[in-house]
Amino acid sequence: MPRAPQVKRTRTDGPRELSCFKKKIPALLNIEDEDTVQNPHPVEQRNTPETIKHVSQIIVIGETETSVCEADQYVAEGAGDMDPATQDPHGDKSQHQQQQGGYNPGDGCVASPKSMKTLRESEETELEKTALRVISYLGKSAATRFEHSQPDREWLHTTMTVLIQSLIPLTQQDPRKTGAVIHLEAPVCIIGDIHGDFEDFYELLMQTTVLGDFRLTTHSYLFLGDYVDRGAWGVEVCAYLVAMRCLRPHKACLLRGNHDDPLINGAVDDYKSGSFRSQCIRFCETQGKGDKLFMECNKLFKVLPLAAIVDRKLYCCHGGIPRYSG
């Protein structure tokens, strides 16, 4: 597998500490990297809330609320400092730099033309091209912390609606689904609660992709739900995930969490400005358009599978197996 690109660190006061992913994830993906073999901190000294679990070729990143059975647990040491808002996600690197391993995923958008040299644009469908434009736009907008202009807001709202309407039947007719369960094969990278935190979400993608493009990886992605509420960028997280799913349905799988339900993500009284409904209204700048976007997203959440089984032996879901209290 190609050498993991180096990540340029430019600040030391990131919103959350994530350097653990730079050391652990490439190692679990069998990517040779000088940084991955240096681990001065013993396991018992790593006491941050982020956890990494793995089974064979399976990587799990998430909170304790997320359930993945039969997995050895590793506690990450923290200490990252990369913030995509300080980087230029559309940094233009030459082809020679990419070939020499100098391509910086923090500087390159997932949809950067330089990272897609091996893909033929003529093979992309119109739906895939639309999804690619969304990914490119969100990667660029992360540098400005999503200071969307009015035309951009209207375009993203309209495009999200189109992608969601195409994705709903695609999800319902997924041949890997059996009822509310979807069956996947390793290697797979499993990511837990995102809760509208686009910065950490984007950083994880940059650390686990090849040249910043998830289409070039050998593994697929499984997201275990709770994409919205609390964090400031629930709309952007949803747009990115929907675009990933439309662009490569077999490489991105979404499960449903308890916050992916209008009874919870629409509870404005409980989550105030952090509720997904409030964010949709604020994003669209009118309640009518905001509520329409809110309902479209929840239509997609409604058809998402509740659990996944990887290689017929690893059970994955959002909140774990419920206990019978009768």
Per residue in 180-206, pLDDT (tens digit) is: 999 999 999 999 999 999 999 999 999
> Residue 240: enclosing H or E segment and its boundaries?
helix 234-247
Residue 136 has pLDDT above 80, yes or no: yes
Length of the chain: 326
Q: Look at 99-113, 129-143, 214-228, 231-245 and tell me which has the smallest mean pLDDT.
A: 99-113
Report the alpha-carbon distance of residue 47 to residue 252 in Å, rounded: 30
| Strand segments (E) across 155-289 | 177-178, 181-184, 188-191, 220-223, 252-254
| Confidence grade of residue 12 (pLDDT, cut at 50, 70, 90) | very low
The listed range with the strongest mean pLDDT (83-87, 144-148, 229-233) is: 229-233
Give residue 164's pLDDT.
96
Burial of 307 (0-12, 13-18, 19+ CB in 10 A): middle
Number of other residues whose CB lies within 10 A of the CB of residue 88: 16
With tokens 């629930």, the residue in question is 234
For the chain, the first-to-last Cα distance in angstroms comes to 51
In which band, very low, low, confident or very high, does the pLDDT at 117 lie, cut at 50, 70 and 90?
very low
Does pLDDT of 168 surpass 90? Answer: yes
User: pLDDT band for position 61 (50/70/90)?
Assistant: low
The rounded mean pLDDT for the chain is 74
CA neighbor of 127 nearest in space, from 83, 160, 89: 160
> What per-residue confidence (pLDDT) applies to 169?
94
Least confident of 1-15, 209-223, 237-251, 271-285: 1-15
Q: Which residue has the higher pLDDT, 266 or 19?
A: 266
| Band of pLDDT at residue 124, cut at 50, 70 and 90 | confident
Q: How far is CA 282 from CA 109, 240, 262, 268, in A?
A: 26, 18, 17, 12
Residues 6+ apart with CB under 8 A from 21: 52, 61, 76, 80, 203, 204, 207, 208
- The tokens describing 254, both together, are 């979404």
pTM value? 0.67
How far, CA to CA in Å, does 111 sit from each of 55, 123, 132, 270, 283?
Answer: 30, 15, 6, 36, 23
* Predicted pLDDT of residue 263: 93
